[in-house]
Structure 1
Amino acid sequence: MTMLPTPIRDPAPMLERALHEWGGTQDLWVFGYGSLIWRPDFDFAERRLARVHGWHRALKMWSRINRGTPECPGLVFGMLPGGSCQGMVFRVDKQHAREVMTTLWQREMVMAVYDPRWLRCHTNHGPVNALAFTLSRKSPSHTGTLADHEYCRIFAQACGRFGTTRDYAQATFDELRRLGIHDRALARLLALAQKQA
């Protein structure tokens, strides 16, 4: 069994803070912008297309476990400041919210890289405040600017416990397209990788 690296910070108090901020009096909303859209891994009562302003989806977070290894890091999506992001919000009944948030922490916060925060999400049925996993540009897991040839190399080589970076990116792109969401940056990267294959 592979030993997981030590988290960069303790995720437990971050979960307790998020639970406190949620408050427990209303249903929980969770914003998905990457794999949560096509593999949420939790039960939800409702889901809606949503847009967040002030943040954008970017394939700029190193993954040394799920989609790569310490020797050959892969990439996963993070939400970085600036622009806007279309994705999906999921509503969880309040009686199941603590369990779902604990499950999300086991999945998304193993290394405690993300900064969980509550973001205003705009839907066709009005705005909701949803939990989102954002990434700081100051994080050691933020890639910074990667050259096209680096993306091609990562797509060709990186594979972790949940599969390859390329399959993860393609699955996200396919689900976004199915939902009518066009991510130009992701489309360009996948087209680039296809040419190099």
Structure 2
Amino acid sequence: MDSRETRSLWVFGYGSLCWHPGFQFGASTVGYIRHYVRRFWQGNSTHRGTVTKPGRVATLVEEPNGATWGVAYELTGEAALSYLETREVSLGGYTTNVVTFFPRDASLNPFPVLLYIATPSSREWAGSAPLHEIATQITQCSGPSGHNVEYLLRLAQFMREKVPEGYDEHLATLETLVRLRIKENNLCLKALMGDGPTEPQAAAAAAAAAANIRQEPQPQEERRDTFQFSTKLPPKKLRCLNV
């Protein structure tokens, strides 16, 4: 990675940012951060749940020997950072930190990334719970951005297909339990998953992240039942990753 790119501001996505960044970005690359593990311990009443029935979304918990895989995005322009501050901090209840990102591509040097993370002091913190209870909660919750099931399953699918070396037992177990709940309750998976990322822009963005190449922003149709519509960003500012 050249010196010009390392001077840029990058953000690390480990949750919905993996499959739906929702903002215009420059380069992107798959990799990991150290000393953290992904956990569905953050409550959510603005995207994947409601005040009376909050969902659960991913955050990171410190663990000395832990590692979390995801995608780093190069932010371009002030609009991207403003969008993230609204989505992750104002609405999501996350705080910010800066950590070192290690690219999958060994020819690239590690570099600092912006990290959005929830802690026990976060206003929507849900904390640890038995995985079967978390799975039941996810199956029962939905919000303005769609069903909580969509959030979990699209993240699990992204990691399985795009980052197979980043196996996450917590995520994989939750996926298995949620799919079991869906079957037990005779729920319609298609309805729970919503419309999903749009094509063909989604496929191009996913390929860019996997190959560490730069993509030019493409116009994209807004989905009216998601956060990307409620923010009122122009369609050309929106980007998705295919899962």
Where on the TM-score scale, by shorter chain, does this alignment land: which range? Answer: 0.7 to 0.9
Deviation of residue 139 (structure 1)?
A: 3.0
Aligned to 1:18: none
* Residue type of the alignment partner of 1:147: P
> What are the superposed Cα offsets for residues 57-86 of structure 1, whole Å, 9 maximum, x if unpaired?
111100012111111110111122122111
Aligned to 2:136: 153
Aligned to 2:114: 131
Deviation of residue 112 (structure 1)?
A: 6.3
Q: Say yes or no: does 1:167 pair with 2:150.
A: yes
Of the candidates 160, 167, 170, which is equivalent to residue 177 of structure 1?
Answer: 160
In structure 2, relative to structure 1, the CA distance for the partners of 1:112 and 1:69 (3 Å cut) is closer
**Secondary structure at the residue paired with 1:126?**
coil
Match runs of 1:68-79 below 5 Å: 68-79=49-60
Are the equivalent residues in 1 in contact too, given 2:89–2:95 (CA < 8 A)?
A: no
Q: Say yes or no: does 1:29 pair with 2:38.
A: no
Aligned to 2:31: 50
Of the candidates 158, 174, 181, which is equivalent to residue 196 of structure 1?
Answer: 181
The worse-fitting range, judged by mean Cα deviation, of 60-69 and 143-152 is: 143-152
Are the equivalent residues in 1 in contact too, given 2:44–2:92 (CA < 8 A)?
A: no
* Residue type of the alignment partner of 2:86: Q
Are the equivalent residues in 2 in contact too, given 1:80–1:137 (CA < 8 A)?
A: no
Find the aligned partners of 1:122 and 1:72 in 2 and give their Cα distance.
37
TM normalised by structure 1 equals: 0.80
Deviation beyond 3 Å, 4+ runs, structure 1: none
> What are the superposed Cα offsets for residues 118-174 of structure 1, whole Å, 9 maximum, x if unpaired?
111011211110101012134342222212342232122101001111111001111
Question: How many residues matched?
Answer: 170
Aligned to 1:63: 44
**Secondary structure at the residue paired with 1:109?**
helix
**Secondary structure at the residue paired with 2:125?**
coil
- Percent identity reads 25
Cα-Cα RMSD: 1.8
Aligned to 1:100: 80
Find the aligned partners of 1:133 and 1:51 in 2 and give their Cα distance.
14
Q: Say yes or no: does 1:80 pair with 2:65.
A: no
Find the aligned partners of 1:173 and 1:153 in 2 and give their Cα distance.
17
Name the one with the larger strand percent.
1
